[in-house]
Structure 1
């Protein structure tokens, strides 16, 4: 039987061993997400979400990082979810909870529309949903007002409440709360700029001759979508409409190196898609593009 002194020594050995294992695990996580081990920002300011009942949820973590995008300040909201959990795109699909952003009022800047990475498709009993798992990021551009653009060292307050759905077997409404005091100098000299710049390359670009939605029509509860481009390999299409619109998984009608035609079973919330403008994210091995297109009312899409 151990005496008190021996017991304390043994407990200390186990505690130090555990710290070593935890450090190794954390270092592996840093390497997995290509964040330098000496990046101080990774170790600070991560937030865990809370449920609507105020209880912490240990299934995700998020933080705000800053950088420059096309010459303007940008906030990157980085979200990491545990294995098996996912969140949603701004158009969540058949079910789910789209992210909602509530910003604190500021006399210094205005907030642009969030920029989302191309989503993934998740199969659900009621139909496909669209979102993200693992490690993802949402970008929010900032526009500073008037003379404040030249006040690099003046601190300003940045506050945000993000509400979103975190889902596995069930979907849990959750929220993150952020409150930061930063300066324009901090943003322009961000230690995270390299990571932000790399992540920004995954954003959908404007459609172009290499990849675009050529035509779309609606007939008998099906959208027919023609995706055109150069050297098409395996394009996929995600459609965003109004709340309540339903888009099933695209089915391939025909394909070639320059044109793929999909049939998408769809139910409009208002009875008809004809004449409406829908938003598209089209992804192929060459990258992803974003486009809006007005729906035609005819039976088929012709090459």
Structure 2
């Protein structure tokens, strides 16, 4: 069922993306109006050897867009910076998402307005930096539609949007070791008997918060996470995996509770999972 839904979603997005690709090109600017959304490149001045920039996506009421891993369905943002000038690298910093559940399944989303910070390193710090971005992102309410934006921005020292970018950076999950002695922590990941390969993820979270867990595996691995059980653990299920999977598998777990977010890398042994 999950595979069929993903396949249908991918086919749907491909058809619409092809239609967008043959549409009349639009001259890049800092802002582009899209389907029930607006995308904008913003600048926040310099921070050390980097320029602070951000991709701001503003959505109409009731619409959402997706995190780097969309969940059961959806389209994660795609960034093409190849048209930029004097740019050595761009580092995307992903703020923590929210969990959204409906008839289509569980999605990992941003709503209303999302700012995705970008750390831009110039090739030559003494020369001007111009960002040019071909952006693809999903916009979803009852059905999901891919949106496209061609954006450009000169990073010239102006820091008018620095506060918005720094506020988004605060929401980026902090890397944290397993069983770290913190008030928000992933304490353990233990195998759980059942029809599907699954694990119990035990956590610690501040009292009064409603934690959410966002699992991410390698290509062709799909995981789901339950709502918190008894407030201190989740059921993590392997929904799909490659038939010939073997050896260690790296899994990234993002845990969000209140205004705090962490991410922890764990390793699973694929050889021990039921096929």
The TM-score, its normalising length taken from structure 1, stands at 0.68
After the TM superposition, which residues 70-149 of structure 1 pair with which residues of structure 2 at under 5 Å, given as runs?
71=48, 72-106=50-84, 108-145=86-123, 148-149=124-125
Partner of 2:161: 192
Partner of 2:233: 261
For structure 2, the 5+ residue unaligned runs are: 1-28
The 8 Å contact of residues 102 and 161 in structure 1, kept in 2 or not, is answered as: yes
The 8 Å contact of residues 216 and 223 in structure 1, kept in 2 or not, is answered as: yes
The 8 Å contact of residues 273 and 295 in structure 1, kept in 2 or not, is answered as: no
Partner of 2:263: 290
Question: SS at 1:165's partner residue?
Answer: strand
CA distance in 2, matches of 1:69, 1:286: 26
For structure 1, the 5+ residue unaligned runs are: 1-43, 50-56
Question: SS at 2:58's partner residue?
Answer: strand
Larger Rg: 1
Is 1:48 the counterpart of 2:33? The answer is: yes
CA distance in 2, matches of 1:113, 1:91: 17
Partner of 1:66: 43
- Give the superposition deviation at 1:163: 0.5
Partner of 1:277: 250
Aligned length: 235
After the TM superposition, which residues 158-177 of structure 1 pair with which residues of structure 2 at under 5 Å, given as runs?
158-177=131-150
Is 1:212 the counterpart of 2:190? The answer is: no
The 8 Å contact of residues 213 and 293 in structure 1, kept in 2 or not, is answered as: no
Deviations 1:231-258, CA, capped at 9 Å, x for gaps: 5843221111234433334144444xxx
- Give the superposition deviation at 1:126: 4.2
Question: SS at 1:117's partner residue?
Answer: coil
**Inter-CA distance 251–77: structure 2 relative to 1 (3 Å threshold):** closer
The structure whose residues are more often strand, as a share, is 2
Deviations 1:73-92, CA, capped at 9 Å, x for gaps: 12111111001111111111
- Give the superposition deviation at 1:275: 2.9
Question: SS at 2:53's partner residue?
Answer: strand
CA distance in 2, matches of 1:119, 1:276: 23
CA distance in 1, matches of 2:155, 2:100: 37
The TM-score, its normalising length taken from structure 2, stands at 0.75
Partner of 2:129: 156
- Give the superposition deviation at 1:117: 1.2
Is 1:235 the counterpart of 2:211? The answer is: yes
